[in-house]
């Protein structure tokens, strides 16, 4: 480093720091490559990784696990890139380690990994070069979504998405980013699938779009935890989210359709993906699933048929709107032990529950000691970014706290708190208590 160049990290903003060790700091990147991008750096100013002491290097490497746990509290990455830049040619400013969360579909072909530091060398080609027939599909999609750039956000624009090396997830993400509204009809809805799409559905409705979904109870495969998360979203945007269930009983219910409209309120043209993929992690990421995509304007009758079919489905006598009471009853009646065997659906691995990091563990121990001493109130003071909301969720996740009130001065903070409490209490009934809405039975409200 040039001695006249101001150091970017000698006086970092306190709200960015989420962990402080003896020799190092962990903080959130101001310009993240992906959500949850973290940095590890020594407290002492050194010119490069190789000039750090062995103790500093060891603590920085140990900090990778600390950063991983902190990232996973707010995000569900599918992988990580860990790297360090050394020297001007490698892009070094101040020596620090990058811990970059990676998500399925964030790039077309992720196998290059850190090779992306030299973009032209990044790819190990996974598929042959597209044929010239794709030009027509690009032009047609651009005509249907002229303001979105959606054709550039998709791995390809062919009519058939085949799964495996061509997963459905990045296509659904790309179309959601371009859409003004969306309708999904899926036989099975799993929590693993919701984790992948929840941020994108939230983005759709937050920018004024609408989202409707119909799922089914056939064989009890649909996960009530996924339904609860959709109810959380509906509570935040009650006029923009519609939730229905097909009460199948002994009748089969097996549609898998994803409809994306150019305009809000399901106006305009659109694109439909119809095929074999339910809303599960396996079906969206690595399963061999065939889904046919209707090409807008050139194949408008096909999209109109799908639109009309969804409208007709909502009028079926077995359809009913979902609410918290219905989910509670469904959960109680669902025989979890026999579901996957009877449905022929492979069980998906359950995510590990979030765990408090070291600073939170110390605060929780102090709170526990305070309670054991007979005190009925306590105060914890933490710097911004160390997880005060997470701390409150961890501390109150016990039977002696049947109801919790989380108070904040802005509604957006309450919404973020709901997401945090949901990760700690996946089956609880949560709700907002604001000037606009009230959920009297909610376990946690604010």
Q: What tokens does 153 get? A: 């956000």
Strands 291-293 and 160-161, by their bridges, are antiparallel
Q: Taking the alpha carbons of 176, 180, 185, 190 in that order, is the dihedral positive or negative? A: positive
Instruction: Please identify which residue in the block is written with the tokens 């119909």.
Output: 214
Asked whether 163 and 170 are in contact (CB, 8 A), the reply is no
How does 167-188 read in b/e, with b if 16+ C-beta sit within 10 Å? Answer: bbbbbbbbbbbbbbbbbbbbbb
Exposed / middle / buried, residue 351 (Cβ in 10 Å: 0-12, 13-18, 19+): middle
Active site (annotated) includes residue 98: yes
Instruction: Please identify which residue in the block is written with the tokens 């061999």.
Output: 288
Catalytic entry in 22, 45, 75, 98: 98
Exposed / middle / buried, residue 195 (Cβ in 10 Å: 0-12, 13-18, 19+): middle
24/157 Cα distance (integer angstroms) = 46
- Residues 288-292: contacts with CB under 8 Å, at least 24 apart: 288/162, 288/163, 288/164, 289/161, 289/162, 289/163, 289/168, 290/160, 290/161, 290/162, 290/163, 291/160, 291/161, 291/163, 291/168, 291/171, 291/256, 291/258, 292/159, 292/160
The SS3 call for residue 27 is strand
246/214 Cα distance (integer angstroms) = 7
416/426 Cα distance (integer angstroms) = 15
Secondary structure E strands in 119-190: 160-161, 181-186
Which residues have a catalytic role annotated? 98
């Amino acid at each position: 480093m040039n001695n006249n160049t101001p150091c970017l990290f000698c006086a970092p903003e306190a709200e960015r720091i989420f962990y402080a060790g003896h020799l190092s700091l962990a903080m959130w990147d101001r310009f993240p490559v992906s959500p949850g991008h973290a940095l590890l750096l020594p407290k002492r100013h050194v010119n490069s990784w190789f000039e750090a002491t062995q103790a500093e290097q060891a603590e920085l490497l140990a900090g990778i696990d600390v950063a991983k746990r902190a990232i996973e509290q707010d995000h569900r990455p599918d992988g990580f890139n860990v790297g360090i830049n050394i020297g001007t040619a490698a892009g070094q400013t101040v020596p620090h380690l990058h811990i970059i969360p990676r998500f399925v579909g964030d790039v077309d072909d992720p196998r290059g990994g850190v090779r992306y530091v030299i973009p032209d060398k990044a790819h190990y080609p996974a598929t042959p070069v597209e044929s010239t027939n794709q030009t027509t599909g690009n032009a047609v999609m651009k005509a249907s979504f002229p303001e979105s750039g959606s054709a550039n956000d998709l791995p390809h624009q062919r009519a058939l998405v085949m799964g495996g090396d061509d997963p459905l997830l990045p296509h659904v993400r790309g179309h959601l980013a371009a859409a003004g509204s969306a309708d999904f009809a899926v036989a099975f809805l799993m929590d693993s699938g919701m984790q992948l799409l929840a941020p994108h559905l939230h983005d759709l409705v937050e920018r004024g779009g609408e989202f409707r979904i119909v799922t089914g109870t056939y064989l009890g495969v649909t996960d009530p935890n996924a339904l609860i998360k959709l109810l959380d979203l509906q509570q935040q945007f009650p006029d923009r989210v519609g939730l229905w269930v097909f009460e199948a009983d002994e009748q089969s219910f097996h549609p898998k359709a994803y409809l994306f409209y150019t305009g809000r309120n399901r106006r305009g043209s659109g694109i439909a993906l119809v095929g074999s993929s339910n809303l599960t992690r396996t079906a969206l990421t690595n399963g061999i699933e065939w889904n046919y995509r209707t090409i807008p304007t050139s194949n408008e009758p096909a999209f109109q048929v799908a639109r009309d079919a969804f409208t007709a489905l909502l009028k079926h006598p077995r359809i009913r709107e979902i609410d918290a009471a219905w989910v509670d009853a469904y959960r109680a009646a669902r025989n979890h032990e026999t579901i996957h065997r009877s449905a022929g659906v492979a069980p998906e691995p359950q995510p590990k529950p979030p765990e408090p990091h070291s600073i939170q563990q110390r605060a929780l121990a102090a709170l526990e000691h305070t309670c054991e001493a007979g005190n009925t109130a306590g105060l914890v003071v933490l710097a911004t970014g160390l997880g005060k909301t997470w701390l409150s969720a961890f501390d109150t996740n016990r039977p002696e706290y049947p109801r919790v009130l989380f108070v904040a001065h802005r509604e957006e903070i309450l919404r973020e708190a709901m997401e945090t409490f949901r990760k700690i209490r996946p089956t609880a009934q949560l709700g907002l208590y604001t000037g606009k809405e009230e959920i009297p039975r909610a376990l946690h409200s604010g």
